[in-house]
Structure formats: structure tokens, C-alpha cells
A = this chain, B = another copy of it.
Amino acid sequence: FDCTYFQIGSGKVDQTYTLELENNISIGAGLVIHKLKCLSQGGPVWEAILTSRGAGIAGSRHAACVVCEDSTLSVFSAGGQRLLPPVVLSSPATRLTCSDQYVMVLTSRGCVSVWNIQELKTLVKNESLLPIMQAPAGTDLSIRSTGLTEHGAPVVSLSTRKSYIFNFDVGAWLLISSADDAVYQCSDHQSCLPPDVKLQETLLPLASLQGELNRPTRVARNIFNSNPVTRRAATLSHLDSQLAAALSMHSAKDYKFWFLTLVRYLTQEGLEPRLRELCSELLGPVVQTTRQSSWKSYTMGLSKRELLREILPVMGSNLKLQRLVTEFKEQLDVILT
């Protein structure tokens, strides 16, 4: 019989459960069953009988999942209770991922599904990878890795060094990283990264996906020395893209990291109009009007006014921006008293 092992975490920190699959158990009369077993320290915790051969297992502290050869997915609670009848997949599963309350299945025909196990709801419903599986003829094209963000959005990295996230609201794949493209290569933001970058890289979802915060930027500098306007536009486009990518991943840490980088770059270049626009958005309405404002004081859990207070000293490093800094500092003081 086949046997696959897989480690799953448990609700309690001091315990570890193991999932195990035992296929093709003959029980006489020509009948064959298959078993999904949950073990703890070698001993059985629970077992579930399957009617189709198991093909892959995965687990988290919320769920134990198994995909079978009849193209179904079965999901059990940590205690072994079946949470759903067998879910029929659009074709056999080739990848099964379980992360917190999310389960992701990739099928043999290149479709991705994600479910929230706690709410028993689909987040991504059988979305094809075909739109992102595009490369010039002759290029090697394969999936390098797949993963889930902490909000259950699937992230796919290809051999072409491009990464995509599927965004539920937008209903499409978004290109969040493209290591080989010109804008990425030419962006001249290196000197403006926050000082504690080395430390942060491993913690930031987007950064760890791109993995290249510290790449050399000599290329960019050489190329653009003759054309500072385009260099600036390329850098701003790149930083804008990073912010948009962080937002689409709901990654507050990446967002703050690139936001601070943008502020430092705008400060270095003395781009007052963009800084003013940016500070105004963080400040929000100073005088409360009766008309309902659409301004929100938080973005992904980050207080905009806290962020404003944090960037004002950074902006102060450019003497030309002194007046702007003073102006917003005063407004901030008025609001908070």
C-alpha cells in the first residue's frame, strides 16, 4: 500500500499531529477501502474511511485535507469530523496546500481554487492559470512556487521571474513582481530604502517574493545619468507599483516599507507637489463638515495620521521642504488637541 506522511500543526503549541494515508485496504467480499489517519506521537487520534484512493494530503491547525483519485477534496476538522461532503474538483488535483483556515487546490488542467474552511466558503472559484502562463516562444515556462497570503489569496511565481496574485475583488490575476522588466531594473530608489532593510526582508511577504531588495542599481544610474527626468519617472513608477502590489496583497508591512521608501525618494528629489498631495491624504479633513467624508483614517490597520507624524522628520532632512513640514505639523497638532 501507498503511504504518505505530512506534518500538521495543532491548536496547542506543545503537540504535533501527523496525517497519514493508507490506501487499498482489502476488507473482503471484493471491497477495498482507504484510510486517512491522524496520529500523535505515533498513536492514532482519529481515522476516516475514504471510498476513493487518496492522492495527496495537507493539514493546518484548522483542517486536515485529502484529495482523492476520483477528483474530490475531503476536509476534516482537527478533531476528525467531516466538514463537507466530498467536493468535486474540475479535474484531478496536482497540488494541495493548507494554510491556517485556507485550503488551496491546483488541478491538472491548471485551475486554482481556494476555500475558507471556517466559513465553508469559496474565495477563489476554479480560476484558470492560463492567462498568466504566457511567455515568448522558446522560453522555459513553469510554475516555480505557489502560496497563499495570510488573507487566503493565491500567489503564483513562474520560471519567468514573474509573480502573480489572484485578487478576489478585482476578479483577476495581478502582476505583482517582474524581476526582468526594465522599470524594475532601472529604478533608482536604492539609497532611499529604510535603514533597517536587511532585518526586514525575511518578514515582508512581497519582499521575500521578490527577494532582491539589495540588488545593485549601477545599471540604473549609468543608464539614466543623461536623462534625470526619465530616471525619476521610472523610479516613481516602480515605487508606485510596489505600493500597489503591497495593497493588493493586503500586506501592511510591505506597504509601510515602500511608502517610507517613496517618501525618502520624494524628499531626496525635492518633489514638493507629490509630497503635499501625499501628506494631505494622510492628514484627512481638518475641519469636520456636516457632509459625510469618504476619507478613511486607516489603511490596512495603519493609522494615516500616525504615518504622517512619522514621515514629517524624514521630509525635514531636505531644507527646501521645511515650510511644508511646518505646515502639516501645525495642522496635525490642531487636530490632535
Chain A contacts to B: CB under 8 angstroms: 25, 27-29, 31-33, 35, 47-51, 70-72, 79, 81-91, 113, 115, 119-122, 125-126, 130-132, 134, 164-165, 169-176, 178, 181-186, 219, 222-224, 227, 230, 233-234, 237-238, 240-241, 243-245, 248, 277
Q: Which secondary structure characterizes the binding site on chain A? A: mixed
Which residue of chain B has the shortest Cβ distance to A48 in the bound complex?
B237
CB pair A240–B81 under 8 Å, yes or no, is yes
Instruction: Given A27-B227, A85-B244, output 16 extra A-B contacts at Cβ < 8 Å.
Output: A29-B219, A31-B185, A33-B230, A49-B183, A49-B234, A49-B238, A51-B181, A51-B182, A79-B277, A82-B241, A83-B244, A84-B174, A91-B131, A113-B172, A119-B169, A125-B172
Contact residues in B for A185 (Cβ distance below 8 Å): 31
A258 to chain B: closest CB distance in Å?
12
CB pair B85–A223 under 8 Å, yes or no, is no
Q: Which of B51, B86, B175 contacts A88 (CB 8 A)?
A: B175
Q: A51-B178, A175-B72, A237-B48 are in contact. Are A27 and B88 (CB under 8 A)?
A: no
CB pair B86–A182 under 8 Å, yes or no, is no
30 pairs of residues in contact across A and B, judged by CB atoms under 8 Å: A27-B182, A27-B223, A33-B183, A33-B234, A47-B233, A48-B240, A49-B230, A51-B178, A51-B184, A81-B240, A82-B241, A82-B243, A82-B244, A83-B244, A84-B248, A85-B174, A85-B244, A85-B245, A87-B170, A87-B173, A88-B132, A88-B173, A89-B131, A89-B172, A115-B170, A119-B169, A120-B170, A121-B171, A122-B170, A126-B171
A259 to chain B: closest CB distance in Å?
12
Which among A49, A51, A115, A120 has the highest number of chain B CB atoms within 10 Å? A49
CB pair A86–B223 under 8 Å, yes or no, is no
Contact residues in B for A47 (Cβ distance below 8 Å): 233
A169 to chain B: closest CB distance in Å?
5
Contact residues in B for A28 (Cβ distance below 8 Å): 222-223
Contact residues in B for A86 (Cβ distance below 8 Å): 174-175
A95 to chain B: closest CB distance in Å?
17
Please give the count of copies of this chain that the complex contains. 3
Q: Which of B25, B85, B248 contacts A175 (CB 8 A)?
A: B85
Q: A79-B277, A237-B82, A240-B48 are in contact. Are A169 and B120 (CB under 8 A)?
A: yes
A115–B132 CA distance with the chains assembled, in angstroms: 19
Contact residues in B for A87 (Cβ distance below 8 Å): 170, 172-174
Q: Which of B83, B91, B182, B222 contacts A33 (CB 8 A)?
A: B182
A248–B132 CA distance with the chains assembled, in angstroms: 34
Contact residues in B for A27 (Cβ distance below 8 Å): 182, 186, 223-224, 227, 230
Contact residues in B for A89 (Cβ distance below 8 Å): 131, 172
A184–B85 CA distance with the chains assembled, in angstroms: 13
Contact residues in B for A248 (Cβ distance below 8 Å): 84-85
CB pair A131–B219 under 8 Å, yes or no, is no
Q: Which of B35, B165, B176, B233 contacts A35 (CB 8 A)?
A: B233
Contact residues in B for A119 (Cβ distance below 8 Å): 169
A92–B230 CA distance with the chains assembled, in angstroms: 28
Contact residues in B for A49 (Cβ distance below 8 Å): 182-183, 230, 233-234, 237-238
